[in-house]
Amino acid sequence: MPDVITVTIQTDSDSFQEVDVKIERPSYNKPFLGGFRDVRTGVEFHNAGSQTKFRKRPDKGIQLFCRETQTILEKNKPQQTRNTTSTQMTKIGLYVSSMTDKLISPGKYFTAEEYHKCRLEAVIVLQKYFRRWHAINVVQNLREQKRLRLAREAQEELQKKMEKEEKLRREYERKLNPKTKEDFELLYHDLELWMQEETERINRTLTGAERKAALCELLEQEAQLIACFGRHKLNANKENQQKAMLHLLDKCAQPKRWKAFDGRITEMDTKDTLRAKELLEIYQSISMKDIPKDERAAVLLTLRHTVKEHECKLTQEIVELIDREVDLMSKEVKECNLEGLRKRICTLFLQYIKIPKFNPGISGLLKVPQDPLKLYKNVYFCHSCENYLPSTEFPIPVNSRTIGRCHLCSKLANEARRRDAFLKYRLTLENLRKSEADYQDDSKIFSLVQLPDLQYMMENIWNCQSALSAWSELYDLVMVRWDKQHEWSPWNTILLTKEEADAHLKLCNLQKAYEAAFIYRIKQKHIQAKNYFAQIPAMSPFLHVSDNQANAS
């Protein structure tokens, strides 16, 4: 529609006039106020109010709000009972009996204040009984919680006692039947403690010639014990060598394994693993004792056919020994006289198995590389035993600048002089590495710390006791992070018992959990650790990172 339209208006019976009408377009939507529709033509007509612009109220300058009143509608209406009743009284000419009448006298007036007071007293009584019931339930719950806590604590104490007894029993078994180098460390450590106690007792109780005689006798006893330890060590070395050799052969005979995309493990036997498995079975057969002669002859025949596949000096010697044993067995020689010959056969066949030409699968498991040029790399000279050994045979702390003695010489020096036991420190280091690996946050510093470094930290910085309870049993102590948000380092650690460590790692704010004096003491120990590890070149980048974090915080 245009903005202006022309409308023709009849002004008289025969005259018309054209008028221009301006169309006003409203800026709002017109409300529909009703209308009607012609049923004959279907034309819809709206009410006139919808065609005109509403009247705007004058602005008073004050914002007004409308609301509906919330009042109750009251209505008065008279009521009349449905049944009409009446009373009859005695009068002149009428007698009404009063035998069944009741005399009603008014009682004490009950005020609203008294009513509310009675209700309050009743409520108080109900509250008393409810609170009594609630208190009984609370006390029963507390008593049950206390019973469960005491039972749990008793169970934990019993578990700790059993673990301690089991640990002492294992230590006693290890000392009674030593097999590993840690077992012999414990034996020599106990021997040193016993020697110190006996020497102190002799110096305290005896003097003069008696003291010298007692010290000589003590020295003889020490020599006898050391000789006994040496015999046990020889037997243990034989057993350990046999177990290590069987483990090496079994590892060589294991099939190749890999994990598929769906998580299943796939195994595959190659010709090298099958060859190693065959040689392992033959070695186990010829190592068996107290078997019938016919079975022994069959095993020797199988061994002969196996080694005859390759012609060399070693196989010829094995074949000669096999023929000699078969000849002696045919002559009814006693079993005890054949033990030396059978040991030679086992030893030579073991050498045959270790040759990669005859057993290709063992080439990757040998300590001595097959390439002679590799022997000249990472080889150092031990000034104690005067042998050239690979770098893996030397205990190299992270702060060392020169190559010292090898592992064997260090062990012999420890057994001869100090006789320290490193098992407790080694267990602490293993627990530390295991706990840090569980964080999975790519921490690296704990892998650089070696056993001597950890021993120095525990002995000189933390005094071999818990920072909280001063518990000094090293088997119960662990090293954890001081601030668990940052990776472990010697300047972000604390030495605690296992229970204290679990509680410490649950803390969110160390400043609120510990006193300022305790935090200051821990910070001083961290500074000592920084000063010790600052001389290590490999620790320099981590020290700079920790300093930047401290400055940022």
The strand ranges marked E within 308-435 are 379-382, 387-390
For 152-183, what is each residue's pLDDT tens digit? Answer: 999 988 998 898 888 888 888 888 888 888 88
Per-residue three-class SS string for 449-488: CCHHHHHHHHHHHCCCCCCCCCCCCHHHEEEEECCCCCCC
Four-CA torsion 214, 218, 223, 228, nearest 10 degrees:
130
What is the pLDDT at residue 241? Answer: 85
Cα(246)–Cα(276) distance, rounded to whole angstroms? Answer: 12
Cβ distance 426 to 451 under 8 Å? yes
CA distances from 157 to 150, 170, 525 (A): 10, 20, 32
Q: Is 452 exposed, middle or buried (0-12, 13-18, 19+ CB in 10 A)?
A: middle
The pair of structure tokens assigned to 11 is 């002004």
Q: Decide if pLDDT at 463 tops 50.
A: yes
Q: Where are the alpha helices (DSSP H) in 254-338?
A: 271-287, 293-307, 313-330
- To the nearest 10 degrees (0 to 180), the angle between helices 313-330 and 293-307 is 160
Give dist(CA 420, CA 391) in Å, integer: 24
State the CB neighbour count (10 A cutoff) for residue 492. Answer: 20
Q: At what angle do helices 293-307 and 339-353 cross, to 10 degrees?
A: 30
387-390 and 265-268 strand pairing: unpaired
pLDDT, one tens digit per residue, over 341-393 is 888 988 888 888 888 888 888 877 777 655 666 666 778 888 888 888 877 78
Q: What confidence score (pLDDT) does residue 250 get? A: 87
Residue with tokens 């022994």: 296
Q: What is the mean pLDDT of residues 477-500?
A: 88
Nearest to 522 by CA among 493, 487, 485: 493
Mind listing the pLDDT tens digit for each residue in 252-290?
888 888 888 887 888 888 888 888 888 888 888 888 888
123: confidence class by pLDDT, cuts 50, 70, 90: very high
pLDDT at 240: 86
Report, as an integer, the average pLDDT of 83-95: 76
Mean pLDDT of 118-144: 96
How much of the chain exceeds pLDDT 90, in percent?
A: 13
Q: Could you tell me which residues come within 8 angstroms of residue 230 by beta carbon, excluding any fewer than 6 positions away?
A: none
Q: Give the model confidence (pLDDT) of 42-62 as tens digits.
A: 888 877 654 555 567 777 777
Residue-averaged pLDDT of the chain: 83
What is d(CA 164, CA 183) in angstroms, rounded to the nearest whole number? 18
Per-range mean pLDDT, top range of 215-229, 289-303, 525-539: 215-229
User: DSSP assignment of 199-267, as one string?
Assistant: HHHHHHH--HHHHHHHHHHHHHHHHHHHHHHHHHHHHHHHHHHHHHHHHHHHHHHSPEEEE-TTS-EEE
Structure tokens at 327: 């000849």
Any idea which of 242-256, 357-371, 406-420, 517-531 has the lowest mean pLDDT?
A: 357-371
Q: Which amino acid is at 108?
A: K
CA distances from 37 to 47, 51, 443 (A): 11, 16, 86
Q: Is the pLDDT of residue 131 over 90?
A: yes
Assigned token pair, 489: 């380092």
pLDDT of residue 120: 95
Q: What is the pLDDT of residue 147?
A: 95
Higher pLDDT, 418 or 547: 418
23: Cβ contacts below 8 Å, ≥ 6 apart: 1, 2, 3, 4, 5
CA-based torsion, 375, 381, 384, 387: positive or negative: positive
pLDDT bin (cut points 50, 70, 90) of residue 137 is: very high
- Is the pLDDT at 435 greater than 60? The verdict is yes
pLDDT mean over 237-251: 86
Give the Å distances, CA to CA, from 185 to 181, 386, 396, 432, 476: 6, 24, 20, 22, 20
pLDDT band at residue 66, thresholds of 50, 70 and 90?
A: low
Q: Residue 141: what pLDDT?
A: 96
| Contact indicator for 471, 477 with CB cutoff of 8 Å | yes
pTM score, whole prediction: 0.61
What is the reported pLDDT for 50?
45
Q: Please choose, from the candidates 30, 27, 31, 9, the residue with its C-alpha nearest in 3D space to the C-alpha of residue 18.
A: 9
- pLDDT, position 306: 87
First vs last C-alpha separation in the chain: 73
Q: Which pLDDT belongs to residue 52? A: 54
Q: Is the dihedral of CA 485, 486, 489, 491 positive or negative?
A: negative
Q: Which helix (H) or strand (E) holds 11?
A: none
- In the structure, how many helices (H) and strands (E) does the chain have? 15, 10
| Amino acid 314: pLDDT | 87
